[in-house]
């Protein structure tokens, strides 16, 4: 009887964490958009105990012991296979069974050896294909994981990391200080400008732009502890696609002709993903879609993708044993 009581208490705790208002909203929308697939995705999103975490190694603070420890714990490299773009210096470890590797604390003057992240976060970086000497803009950069990953891949000519929100901007600065050594840190410009204005302020200045847009973050929204905040978020959700469109327009202005742009979100929502990209393609005659299906094919061992997407986009669906995502990625080129 006692074990049954304890079990129910644990179930209750898990149940209590889930915000019913958000779940009901998602049920309605995603059943319509994803059909039967939503059931298995929902099972992962609402059960944090099956979430997985990837370990991105920091090439500026290398430790052979760390790799040995990870392998001994059953981790393996996440990115293998014939990827169109995979710098040898980008090393990330994952394992099939969920376990959270201990996070490292921020220590002034000491670089961290690794960054914990959702492995799907590396796909926008791989799609961007940054090369040494290119000028790069990370338009909505906080908390900084993708910026750190870009710097594992290449040494940009200039690297501009922007974050509009003050608090998140401080978080971004701390992340960069924790992972990037002194001489290189001087090449990074951190700003907190309104991303919608950067295109006008810095026209045709960058070879590559990453727009990891503010979105309805499906994972965290499901666990909103404040019902009022959750309800407000769901009301404001309708306005997000307009903001995302404006950020993309700005990013296109900031791109040099011939340069490319990657757009990403961590939501399953079609309104914030394919619809925004379609609107851009229909309204901007100077951009064209870029095929990223080869990249998706090369990592399909580790990630599950929604079928029926266009060749210039992909959507990572969380499933048990591959609990990465949601992550939407699309690539465009400026003519």
- 308 is known to lie in a ligand binding site: no
Give CA angle at 264 (209, 25), nearest 5°. Answer: 150
- 138 is known to lie in a ligand binding site: no
- 271 is known to lie in a ligand binding site: no
- 298 is known to lie in a ligand binding site: no
Does residue 310 have a cis bond before it (omega within 30 degrees)?
A: no
- 330 is known to lie in a ligand binding site: no
Which strand (E) or helix (H) includes residue 159? strand 159-162
> Are the beta carbons of 271 and 221 closer than 8 angstroms?
no
- 140 is known to lie in a ligand binding site: yes
- 145 is known to lie in a ligand binding site: yes
Q: Annotated catalytic residue: which of 153, 161, 266, 284?
A: 266
153 is catalytic: no
- 149 is known to lie in a ligand binding site: no
Residue among 136, 282, 143 at smallest CA distance from 209: 136
**For 144, left (φ over 0), alpha (ψ -120 to 50), or beta?**
left
User: Distance between CA 335 and CA 255 in Å, rounded?
Assistant: 10
- 36 is known to lie in a ligand binding site: no
- 194 is known to lie in a ligand binding site: yes
- The set of residues, in sequence order, having a beta carbon less than 8 Å from that of 318 and lying 6+ positions away, is 41, 44, 45, 304, 324, 325, 326
Bind-site residues: 140-146, 163, 194, 212
Residues designated as active site: 266
Bind-site residues for S-adenosyl-L-methionine: 140-146, 163, 194, 212
């Amino acid at each position: 009887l006692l074990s049954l009581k304890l079990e129910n208490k644990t179930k209750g705790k898990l149940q209590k964490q889930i915000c019913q208002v958000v779940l009901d909203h998602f049920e309605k929308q995603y059943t319509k958009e994803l059909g039967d697939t939503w059931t298995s995705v929902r099972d992962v999103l609402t059960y944090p105990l099956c979430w997985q975490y990837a370990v991105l190694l920091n090439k500026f603070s290398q430790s052979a012991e760390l790799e040995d420890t990870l392998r001994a714990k059953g981790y393996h490299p996440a990115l293998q296979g014939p990827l169109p773009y995979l710098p040898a210096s980008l090393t990330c470890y994952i394992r099939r069974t969920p376990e959270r590797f201990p996070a490292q604390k921020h220590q002034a003057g000491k670089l961290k050896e690794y960054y914990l992240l959702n492995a799907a976060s590396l796909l926008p970086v791989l799609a961007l294909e940054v090369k040494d000497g290119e000028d790069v803009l990370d338009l909505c950069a906080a908390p900084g994981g993708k910026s750190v990953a870009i710097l594992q891949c290449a040494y940009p000519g200039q690297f501009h990391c922007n974050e509009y929100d003050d608090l998140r901007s401080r978080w971004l600065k701390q992340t960069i200080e924790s992972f990037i050594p002194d001489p290189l840190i001087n090449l990074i410009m951190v700003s907190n400008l309104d991303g919608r204005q950067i295109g006008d302020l810095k026209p045709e200045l960058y070879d590559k732009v990453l727009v990891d847009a503010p979105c309805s973050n499906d994972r965290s929204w499901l666990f909103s502890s404040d019902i009022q905040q959750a309800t407000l978020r769901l009301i404001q959700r309708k306005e997000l696609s307009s903001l995302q469109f404006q950020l993309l327009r700005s990013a296109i202005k900031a791109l040099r002709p011939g340069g490319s742009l990657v757009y990403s979100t961590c939501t399953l929502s079609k309104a914030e993903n394919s619809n925004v990209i379609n609107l851009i393609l229909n309204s901007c005659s100077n951009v064209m879609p870029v095929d990223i299906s080869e990249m998706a094919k090369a990592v399909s061992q580790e990630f599950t993708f929604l079928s029926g997407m266009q060749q210039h986009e992909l959507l990572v669906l969380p499933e048990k044993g591959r609990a990465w995502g949601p992550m939407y990625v699309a690539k465009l080129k400026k003519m």
